[in-house]
Amino acid sequence: MLTVVSTDPRQPAALRCLELLLADHGSSCAHIEVSSIDAEGSWDIEVSPANRRAASFGVHVDEGDEEVVLRFGHTHVYLWAPDVASLVPDLEVMAEAVFSGRLIEAGPLDDSFAVLEAADGSKQGVGRMHLPWPWRWRRTRHFEPYEVAPR
């Protein structure tokens, strides 16, 4: 189900990207909600997976600060650009990794960091700064893909 409240002209690029990626995972894999936060142009896109073991995904755009915050699982990633549409390729890579269950998190729930694995196998570390210890020494959280497995 899709709920659109905001009319921000930059929003459709990010929203369309997420809709196309989710289409590959099935029509009932997630709920997308789009909302306008305030009159200054801030807006949110929240993707809630049907699979409770998958990571949620959110995009918050603050037009005044030209700031985009991506949220997945318990990790936050801050991006800055004068044009949100220019960040869509980065959004696509991160969202596809989360939707496919290729997200590993570590650190406290309120300040996590993560590794995302792209479709081509490359890995990207995101989130807060942390000591460069090997991942095998850390307690990690793994998330499932958005597909709902048949019962």
pLDDT at residue 107 is higher than 60: yes
The residue with tokens 């960091």 is: 113
Flag whether 13 is in a domain.
yes
Flag whether 63 is in a domain.
yes
117 forms bridges with which residues in the sheet?
123
Flag whether 93 is in a domain.
yes
In whole angstroms, how far apart are CA 111 and each of 119, 130, 131? 26, 10, 14
Flag whether 37 is in a domain.
yes
Edge-to-edge strand order for the sheet containing 2-3? 2-3, 30-36, 43-49, 57-62, 67-72, 75-80
Cα–Cα dist 52/128, whole Å: 25
The residue with tokens 């959280």 is: 141
Flag whether 147 is in a domain.
no
Give residue 67's pLDDT.
82
Flag whether 35 is in a domain.
yes
pLDDT category at 69 given cuts 50, 70, 90 is: confident
Flag whether 125 is in a domain.
yes
pLDDT at residue 111 is higher than 80: no
Q: Which tops the pLDDT comparison, 85 or 76?
A: 76
Flag whether 34 is in a domain.
yes
Domain containing residue 102: 2-142
pLDDT digits 0-9 by tens, 80-95: 877 777 888 888 899 9
Total number of domains constituting the chain = 1
Query: Lowest-pLDDT range, 62-76, 89-103, 133-147?
Result: 133-147
Give residue 6's pLDDT.
44
pTM of the model: 0.81
